[in-house]
Amino acid sequence: MPTHPPDKLLIATHNPGKVREYESLLADLPIQITWLDAEGIDLEVEESGSTFAENAILKASAYARHSGLWTWADDSGLEVEALDGWPGVNSARHAGPHASDADRTAILLQKLKDVPPEKRTAVFRCVVALATPDGRVWTTSGSSRGIILNEPRGSGGFGYDPVFWVPEYERTYAELSPHEKHAISHRGRAARRARELLLKLLSD
């Protein structure tokens, strides 16, 4: 590890919703949180991996080399069991480069229109990768199970949150408070594990 711990951590995303979640999660760590837009980084990293872990590592490693900063990247997505795991690693891309969250969700709901509620089970998965500019990488993961509704509910969150129903809360991700969502979400679970790892690395 470096003699002096890094004073800044790059979150490798352009998504302000994701940045807000991570800023909250990492608020008490002795490191400044920044992100691609704040650093003026417009490098695009192709997510060519076949798994969430491969894509997270690709992004973290590339942005760490490019920026010279320790970098936190994640890849996450929705695996719908009735669709054989689709959209999976293509969750953010299956509708094309300029599609909105609503566009992607509409396509998902169309594919599930004839699927009964008991068959609409799904798993959100997330892998977080931490990378240093000199090429070291660590990963953590998390998952969360739910059911895909027939139509969106709630105004919070982003992505597929409005149609991802959490049975134990009887609400969608988009209807949960940020605190509630952090506690059970795939990203929250992966991120808490990555946070503990990062804390250890910073203290070594």
Secondary structure in 3-state letters for 160-199: CHHHEEECCCCEEHHHCCHHHHHHHCHHHHHHHHHHHHHH
Longest CA–CA separation in the chain, Å: 59
The one catalytic residue among 7, 42, 74, 75: 75
Read off the amino acid at residue 88.
Answer: G
How far is it, in rounded angstroms, from Cα 135 to Cα 139? Answer: 13
Which two three-digit tokens encode residue 195?
A: 């946070």
Active site includes 75? Answer: yes
How far is it, in rounded angstroms, from Cα 159 to Cα 146? Answer: 15
Contact 53, 73 (CB under 8 A): no
For residue 125, what is the enclosing H or E element?
strand 121-131
| Alpha-carbon distances of 94 from 17, 65, 77, 89, 90, rounded to whole Å | 20, 28, 11, 9, 5
Tokens 């299956």 correspond to: 94
Active centre residues (catalytic): 75
